A and B are shown apart, each in its own frame.
Chain A
Amino acid sequence: MGRQTPLFKLHQELNARIVDFGGWDMPVQYGSQIGEHHAVRRAAGVFDVSHMCVVDLRGARVRAFLQHLLANDVGKLRAPGKALYSCMLNEHGGVLDDLIAYFLTESWFRTVVNAGTRDKDLAWIRRGAADFGVQVAERTDLAMLAVQGPQAREKAVQLLGAPEQAAALALGAFVGRELGGWFVARTGYTGEDGFEIMMPAGDAVPAWRRLNALGVASCGLGARDTLRLEAGMNLYGHEMDESTHPFESGLAWTVALDPPGRDFVGRSALEAIRERGVPRKLVGLLLEDRGVLRSHQRVIAPAGEGEITSGTFSPTLERSIALARVPAATLGQVQVEIRGKLLHAKVVKPPFVRNGRPLVS
């Protein structure tokens, strides 16, 4: 038996198929994974993401600490509640994790890191925080629900009190705010609009039931994966890990080398890597034959070989899509080895889907 979120019994009651995910017993689907995917693209779905790790950082020098710790620059975050997506690197420029950091006050930032890297991340953060006098608090008292889809926000706000509803609807993209004891953030991992809501653990089950009653579909990790891949979003352990740097993982846009005076962990390694030239890049692939692209399949391009980092069947496009790390010169057409056969795929720039509509064909 793995770790369980506050919603575990409810998932069982809803007939979820439970699987092990990084040591957690999590719902992969409740009925049809493809049905859950379509519910999020067309209406609204709710995901239990309570396995993820919320870390509050407090202290007079917390901003300076995060400017040192993270490859993206929290110096950009000036409006209270504004968040950014960043990698946390080691000294070699390898990716320790990806995360979201929220600026709440000058002495309080919140970060959300991945479940699978929780222990490593906490040890790394605590070590760095000591040098800046920053307190690190893992918020194990919180559950987190992601409500995503074109109808997600209008449905989710009905769980809030009347005064909080207007404030929640007014949240801009990538902004979070404490409202009535819950932390509501306009963020997500599906490519749709919506909220990720951090709440006291005891509120999670009633909140989920209320969302179901409002017509929000229960959605599992299976749909979460097909949605994020259509949206061109990376998954730690697939598109990047400690052996890869951001430039070959489609994450150059998350690295803020300006201002040049900001020394962050991994900066000098990245500058050296950039100097030498980056031989590999992350691309999107659209399979042109029948089949399904999957992690670790071999990619054959004129410029050399590469590997699929994540692949799946896209319910919105009704074809297979993937992200792959390939030689930097790779363009146009490639072949992928699937169960001993060479199938044809087209190189595309992710995302594959935006606002529920295909961007590629």
Chain B
Amino acid sequence: MSNVPPDLKYTKSHEWIRTLPDGTVEIGITDHAQHALGDLVFVEVPEAGRAVKQGEPCAVVESVKAASDVYAPLDVEITAGNPRLADAPETVNSDPYGEGWLMRMRPAAGALAAAGLLTAADYQKVQEAEGA
């Protein structure tokens, strides 16, 4: 059974969202997702300043097995991609909720509330439905 920290929000596509004190959000992929992908070998994160809409693919995580798109969980402007991941993509596997964060983003006004993000309990149900 994988780790699902209770203080984060989630999406059905296995991203987690953490609200930072300055009003930006930090996102990454869940423990379930990193486990399913296997060892990551490349991570492509977007440039700061790019605007993306909810549901738009904005990053790519590539493992030995397959490449997977990461989707913007809400309407945002990217403020940073995690610079560590270019040289150490495996950080996403070893610390998916901490040092393995993928991107930081500034939500559009009202986007966070309107996003329909899942609680940890809801996400746990999503995982169970997928047989995880």
Contacts and interface: CB of A to CB of B under 8 A. Distances in A.
B42 A292 contact: yes
Interface residues of A, number: 13
A291 B64 CA distance: 10
Contacts of A290: 42, 44
A29 B41 contact: no
B93 A32 contact: yes
A312 B67 CA distance: 12
A32 B39 CA distance: 6
B35 to A, nearest CB: 8
A33 interface: yes
A291 B39 contact: no
A192 B109 CA distance: 58
Contacts of A339: 67
A312 B38 CA distance: 13
A222 B36 CA distance: 13
Interface in B5-51: 38-39, 41-42, 44
Interface of B: 38-39, 41-42, 44, 62, 64-65, 67, 90, 93
B64 A292 contact: yes
Nearest to A338: B67
A29 B35 CA distance: 11
Contacts of A312: 64
B68 to A, nearest CB: 11
A103 interface: no
Contacts of B93: 32
A291 B62 contact: yes
A330 interface: no
A34 interface: yes
Contacts of B44: 290
A34 B62 contact: no
B39 A292 contact: no
B67 A313 contact: no
Nearest to A36: B39
B42 A226 contact: no
Contacts of B67: 292, 339
A247 B47 CA distance: 47
Nearest to B62: A292
A292 B41 CA distance: 9
Please give me the 9 A-B residue pairs with the lowest Cβ-Cβ distance, nearest first: A34-B39, A313-B41, A313-B64, A33-B39, A290-B42, A32-B39, A33-B38, A292-B62, A312-B64
A222 B62 contact: no
- Of the candidates B44, B62, B64, B67, the one having the most CB atoms from chain A within 10 angstroms of its own CB is B64
Contacts of A29: 38
Contacts of B42: 290-292
Nearest to A319: B41
A352 B38 CA distance: 23
B62 A226 contact: no
Contacts of A291: 42, 62
Contacts of B39: 32-35
Contacts of A35: 39
A218 to B, nearest CB: 16
